[in-house]
Chains A and B, each alone.
Chain A
Amino acid sequence: GQGVEQPAKLMSVEGTFARVNCTYSTSGFNGLSWYQQREGQAPVFLSYVVLDGLKDSGHFSTFLSRSNGYSYLLLTELQIKDSASYLCAVRDPGNAGAKLTFGGGTRLTVRP
């Protein structure tokens, strides 16, 4: 089965950066996704990675190390509105439409 772990909370300062960590253990690997979820709202897709290394998407970048079962989401030039929960999810191997297993989410608080 799949196990996905994230720290529950993270705090950072406006204008700096935040790194949200995610570790996973899987019986197979078919990619890892990051979602942003604001209080009371739907999760919104941010990024998907399946190859090792850093994927730079501007404000959000993602890193993956498959051998270590580790990923992070890096937010740069933080704004107050980046305060939200960030969810890491791994997809079951196999066919399209396979389920995503989510971590518990990291609640990021950006303070002035």
Chain B
Amino acid sequence: GPKVLQIPSHQIIDMGQMVTLNCDPVSNHLYFYWYKQILGQQMEFLVNFYNGKVMEKSKLFKDQFSVERPDGSYFTLKIQPTALEDSAVYFCASSYPDWGASAETLYFGSGTRLTVL
């Protein structure tokens, strides 16, 4: 099936540094999402994105977070500066712009495990 690729799979950084998580969504998808999952816990919505703009962001999407997709390249999540509580797995997802069942299918990447020391 369609694949969403996330790079890197693991990232270890020191608190206060900047990190950029990269996502290559399914080619014809136009809606993009970031979710955060702490080990063994709930998948939590961070932000969704369409046509170059943030649609909605949650309370978890702090001022230190930003997203962009310049010129149809990677969809990125940047955290600057990072904090200890940012340690988690970050999942990128994309979906097809249509109504009905196909619109409801989010395709997820395998995640980036971020460890902030």
> Footprint of B on A, CB under 8 Å?
31, 33, 37, 41-45, 48, 87, 89, 91-92, 95-105
Contact = CB atoms under 8 A, between A and B. Distances in A.
Contacts of A87: 43
B28 interface: no
B20 interface: no
A54 B108 CA distance: 26
29 contacts: A31-B104, A33-B105, A33-B106, A41-B111, A42-B4, A42-B91, A42-B108, A43-B91, A43-B106, A45-B105, A45-B106, A48-B104, A89-B43, A96-B97, A96-B98, A97-B48, A97-B50, A97-B55, A97-B95, A98-B56, A99-B33, A99-B56, A99-B58, A100-B33, A101-B45, A102-B43, A103-B42, A104-B42, A105-B42
Nearest to A8: B40
Q: Name A's interface SS.
A: loop
Contact of A97 (B4, B31, B44): B31
